[in-house]
Amino acid sequence: MKERTQVIVQRTAAVVLLVGLGLIVIPQLISDIPEDEPVEVEEAEFTPADSIPAPSEPQAVPELGLDPEEYADLTAPEIDPPATEAVVVGSSSVALAEQTLPDLSDEGTAQAWSVRLGIYGNAENIENLRKKMDALGHHVYERPLQSSDGRPLQVVLAGPFLTLQEAEQALEVAKNEMSISDARIVDYRP
């Protein structure tokens, strides 16, 4: 009798195990909807400005040898300053004047930031994200990217933002309201 009880227990355990595996595996096999998740991409390396060699010493330019008495007569005549008039300034002009100019990068362009929302392969997911961010007041744009296996992907970014504070606010919106946990601030590259 004990042998029969052991056989029944073993068979019951096997059935429970098979049913459990079936509940996990069968829905994955039947499901037609692939889930697009952001793909992590290695960032390109860059050289910091400190490691760029300094320019060589400038060469001395030979003096022309003009006598100060010769060019003393060539000074520009004095010009009367223009008359000033009262100008009415609108409140929007005042607000623009109060804003500070953005910092310039080494190339002489304005420094700006974007928020990388993710990397997607499905155009429908990108469009849904774009609509939600537009509704929250943030411009969204895309950059093409090719995966290591040759699939075309899109890097989805919000911005550009002229101040880091604006970019940080958009990052908070992406993380808190859109539940995009891997969003991060990156340099804007036109």
The model's pLDDT over 78-100, given as tens digits with 9 standing for 90+, comes to: 555 555 444 444 444 434 334 44
Instruction: List the structure tokens of 26.
Output: 């069968």
Please count the structural domains in the chain: 1
- pLDDT above 90 for 16: yes
pLDDT of residue 10: 93
Residue 68 lies in a domain: no
What is the C-alpha to C-alpha distance for residues 153 and 172, in angstroms, rounded to an integer?
25
Residue 112 has pLDDT above 70, yes or no: yes
Say how many CA atoms lie within 13 Å of 149 toward its Cβ: 3
Domain extent, residue 175, equals 113-190
Residue 34's pLDDT band, with cuts at 50, 70 and 90, is low
pLDDT tens string 136-185: 888 888 888 888 888 888 888 888 888 888 888 888 888 888 888 888 88
Does residue 32 sit within a domain?
no
Note whether residue 74 is domain-resident: no
Whole-model pTM: value is 0.42
Assess contact for 114 and 158: CB atoms under 8 A.
yes
**If you average pLDDT over every residue of the chain, what do you get?**
73
In a domain, 176, yes or no: yes
Q: Decide which of 63 and 140 is more confident.
A: 140
Q: Which pLDDT band, with edges at 50, 70 and 90, does 132 fall under?
A: confident
- Please report whether residue 150 resides in a domain: yes
Residue among 145, 163, 162 nearest 153 (CA)? 145
Host H or E run for residue 20: helix 2-30
Q: What is the CATH number of the domain that holds 156?
A: 3.30.70.1070
User: Does a structural domain hold residue 169?
Assistant: yes
